[in-house]
Chain A
């Protein structure tokens, strides 16, 4: 496989204390030979079934994009925008259908969603809410590709099921490939993305990109366990109490 992907979602200290589940989720699919689709989602703490919402959102979005790409590869920025918009609409519809099926308000499943797609010619992302996408460019620059949403209050975030989804989703498309992409949920924001400037912290992302690139083969279960241990470590938990997801993908040599 061309892409090396490593990802984990771990429960934050605050959810351990309140015995709440991890409300973050992630998903990814590789389409050989060159394409990888990745998603991270953060279920809102105030939504009682948000762990189901984030799971469903990440899976639905990745599958919808995969199906669309297998049908035809976009050849313009507009094509990408319409593909990503319709994948997000389908994802929001899936959450509404789920809510209707179990006779709940859709707000019960509220979740953020970020999806990234990396092909041999394009890098694209679609994003509702907070969290971020960081790109590792071919010229070795590491920088924010899609920045977190900013609201006056840190605990206010826009979920994918809002009625004006098309106005609040942010899409970024570039007609060039990337060496790698990293995605985080807001639990890792205080550690890795500067709040004032949205700048990705190079000292965090660069070593991770380099190390994953240097791995001789695809990530194993043991590699995922190491990542989970890092996300649970006191070094991380001293800086954040929220659930946290880290997913990063690099092109293999």
Chain B
């Protein structure tokens, strides 16, 4: 008599490990016109990709935040339920430092939530897309220190992408990884790379991290 695999049941109460990710998007006035339209388009394509990606649907949870002012547009939602927002670029300023600090706080809250629920999780991701320079320089040093501390402890992946007109030197300074310099029309590529990178769950020894795939959009 063969083994009856069809009668072997799986634990229904075991959620798969989560990957929390904040998309931190610049909606200041300078993004008006093609940049915001391109960003909206890339977000729609990203949502479409996610709707076809079973692996990410099991794991990825997305929150969309915009600046300025700093707002959480949507709380963490499973990738399977992610709906691309249609952003308008009418913000009066670009409080980048405050936005980063607020996003890191949201990620920490989400980790605490997972801990409380005893759900396993991967390193959080913070992906920032901007075309400007910070209007809150006073917040930038603490944002930079937070990012560097978390990255060095392998507790965060921070990606800073600058599109037309972005202050790439500030982004390069803020980020431990090379800042991404992109044409807004190419943001689709950035999100394709993001889907691929978020899918990588290869295991590493403590204190190390699997390398991310190459992103061919040019670096600052």
Binding site for B on A (CB under 8 A): 6, 13-14, 42, 44-46, 107, 110, 150-159, 162, 186, 190-196, 201, 203-205, 207-208, 211-212, 214-216, 223, 226-227, 230, 233, 235, 238-242
Contacts and interface: CB of A to CB of B under 8 A. Distances in A.
Contacts of A238: 54
A239 B16 contact: yes
Interface residues of B, number: 38
Nearest to A151: B206
Interface string B1-23: 11111011111011111000000
Contacts of B30: none
Given A156-B206, A201-B9, A204-B9, A242 B16 contact: no
B204 A195 contact: no
Nearest to A44: B203
B121 interface: yes
Interface in B88-131: 118-123
B165 interface: no
B208 to A, nearest CB: 7
A158 B9 CA distance: 29
A204 B8 contact: yes
Among B1, B58, B204, find the residue whose CB has the most chain A CB atoms closer than 10 A. B204
B8 A207 contact: yes
A220 B4 CA distance: 15
A214 B13 CA distance: 29
Given A46-B208, A195-B119, A241 B201 contact: yes
A44 B202 contact: yes
A33 B167 CA distance: 74
Given A154-B122, A208-B3, A239 B10 contact: yes
Contacts of A207: 4, 7-8
Contacts of B118: 195-196
A222 to B, nearest CB: 8
A162 B205 contact: yes
A211 B208 CA distance: 42
B32 interface: no
Nearest to B2: A226
Given A155-B122, A201-B11, 17 more contacts: A46-B205, A46-B209, A46-B210, A152-B155, A154-B17, A155-B202, A155-B203, A155-B210, A157-B203, A190-B14, A192-B10, A194-B11, A208-B3, A215-B3, A226-B5, A235-B10, A239-B10
A212 B17 CA distance: 31
Among A150, A155, A196, find the residue whose CB has the most chain B CB atoms closer than 10 A. A155
5 contacts: A14-B201, A155-B203, A190-B16, A201-B11, A208-B3
A13 B201 CA distance: 12
B85 interface: no
A45 B15 CA distance: 21
A208 B5 CA distance: 7
A155 B8 contact: no
Given A155-B210, A195-B119, A46 B10 contact: no
B204 A156 contact: yes
